[in-house]
Amino acid sequence: MAGWWSFGGAFLLFFGILLVSYLYKINWIKDLRLEGDNKTVLANHLESKKRKLGKLPPVYPNGWFALLESSQLDKGQVKHVAALGQNFAVFRTDNGTVRILDAYCPHLGANMAEGGRVKGDCLECPFHGWQFRGSDGQCNHIPYADKVPHIARTKTWKSCEANEIIFVWYHAEGLEPNWQPQTISHVLNRTWRYHGRNEFLINCHIQEVAENGADSAHLSAVHGPAIFTKIANFFSSFARHSWTNVNWTPHNSFLKSQDSKEIKAIKQDDENLRHRAYMTLRHSLILFEKFKLLQLDVNVQQIGPGYVELMMHTSLGSMCIFQTVTPMEPLLQKVTHLLYSPPLLGPYASMLFLAECLMFERDVAIWNRKKFEKQPLLVKEDKSILAYRRWYAQFYSQHSPSYHSAIKSLQW
C-alpha cells in the first residue's frame, strides 16, 4: 500500500511540474560555488584554494565560443564580455550585424564597451569620441583631428550567429576559421520555439565538461538515482534512471561506421568535419524495477571545443538543447543550456529541461572539486575517454595559453 501511495505522490508531482513548466519558462541561473550560508561559501572558497590542479592542458582551446545570446544584444547596443583572456566589445550595428572589437581603445585605453556608442557600423569611444569600424577595426573619425593616422585601428574578432547565439572565433595562432556553427532549420524557420535556459559557473578545465559524454560509466553512478531524492528519500527506493545504448564516437570513426552512400552525402555537405564528435544514449525512468517511463533517445553532436547540440526524441515529439561552454578565466567556465521545441510540446519539454538542470548540478558538484588527471588510471571499458582526449587535442596549438601564462595575463 505504501508503495502505491508513493507512486501516486510521484504521479501528482510529475503533473504539478508539468503545469508549472507550462506557465513559466525555465530560467535557471546558478553559481554552485556560492551555494549555502556564509560559512559554507567561505569553507568552499578556502577548500578550492587547496585543491590540486594536476598537469593541465592549455586553458583556451581554438574554436568558436558563445559570448552572448542574440536576444541579449539589440540594434545599436554594445556589451562588454571578458572571456578567453580577452576583453570584447560586442555590438550590433544599425542594420543588425554583430561586430566584435577589442574592448580597449588604442588611444588612451578606455573601455569602449562601457559607455561607448554605436554609430552606423562603427563603435565610438566614450572618452574622446574616436570611431572604429566594426568591419576592420580602422578608425575613420577623430572629432578634434584634421587627419586620422592610418595606424589608428583596433583588433577585430570574427563573429557569427547561429541558433540565437553570438559566437566569437578564438585561435592562438591567429588562423582564420575553417568551420562555424550552423543554425538548425527548426530554429531558423521558428517552427521550434525557445522555452527556457539555464546558466552555471563552474570551477574546472573546459575539457572536463565535454569529457562526460565519453565517460559512460559515470551515468549510472552520478545520474542513476532519481532526480527527486533530495526532496524525498522514498523516491530512491522505487525509482531510478537507466542509461543504455551509450556510445561516443569522433567524426572520423563515425564515417567508417556508415555505409558508402551516407559517407558520400556527408562529404558533400562538408569536407572538414574533424571538429565534430557524436554521442547516443537512451534514457528510461524505472519504477519498481518493472515499469519504464519517460523514455527518450538522445543524439548529441559535440561541435568544436565549446558547443554541443542535444537532440532529444520522445514518444510525444523531438526537442533540442544547445549547450555552450565558455572559459571566462583559465579554470572558470560559464555553461548555458538553451531549450527549443515545437510550441505544443513546450510544457513536456520544459519538464524534461528541469530534470536536466537537476542532473547537471550533480556533475557541477564533482567538477568544482576534482583534480585534472593527465594520465588517468583506466580500464578497457574506459577506452572512449582516451578517444575523446585524442580528438580534443586538435583544438590546441603551439601558442595555446597554459594555465600559468593565462593567470599572469590576468594580474594587474
Share of the chain above pLDDT 90, in %: 71
313 pLDDT band, cuts 50/70/90, is very high
- What value does the mean pLDDT of the chain take? 87
For the stretch 78-120, pLDDT in tens is 999 999 999 999 999 999 999 999 999 999 999 999 999 999 9
Listed in order, the ranges of the chain carrying CATH 2.102.10.10 are 63-170
User: DSSP characters for 51-70?
Assistant: ----SPPPSS-SEEEEEEEG
CATH class of 28-49+182-249+275-395+402-407: alpha beta
12 pLDDT band, cuts 50/70/90, is very low
Listed in order, the ranges of the chain carrying CATH 3.90.380.10 are 28-49+182-249+275-395+402-407
Contact 194, 340 (CB under 8 A): yes
Residue 275: what pLDDT?
97
Contact 66, 306 (CB under 8 A): yes
Bridge partner list, 71: none
Residue 28 has pLDDT above 80, yes or no: no
Contact 82, 334 (CB under 8 A): no
CB atoms within 10 A of CB 372: 18
Residue 256: what pLDDT?
58
User: DSSP characters for 330-383?
Assistant: TTEEEEEEEEEE-GGGHHHHHHHHHHHHHHHHHHHHHHTTPPP-SS----GGGH
Residue 261: what pLDDT?
53
Residues in CB range of 379: below 8 A, 6 or more apart: none
Q: What share of the chain is helix, strand, coil (3-state, %, to 5)?
A: 30, 35, 35
C-alpha cell of residue 100: 566584435
Residue 330 has pLDDT above 60, yes or no: yes
Output the CA–CA distances (angstroms, integers) from residue 407 to 1, 4, 265, 345, 403, in the order listed: 60, 56, 45, 45, 6
For the stretch 233-275, pLDDT in tens is 555 567 888 888 999 999 987 655 555 455 555 554 555 799 9
For the stretch 153-208, pLDDT in tens is 999 999 999 999 999 999 999 999 999 999 999 999 999 999 999 999 999 999 99
Residue 40: what pLDDT?
53
Residue 253: what pLDDT?
72
Query: Angle of helix 346-367 relative to helix 2-23, nearest 10 degrees?
Result: 100
Residue 79: what pLDDT?
98
In the predicted model, what is the mean pLDDT of residues 328-357?
A: 95
Residue 6: what pLDDT?
42
Phi, psi of 97 (to 5 degrees): -80, 135
63-170: CATH, from 2.70.98.20, 1.10.150.20, 2.40.30.10, 2.102.10.10: 2.102.10.10
- The four Cα atoms 80, 82, 84, 88 give a dihedral, to 10 degrees, of 20
Residue 404 has pLDDT above 80, yes or no: yes
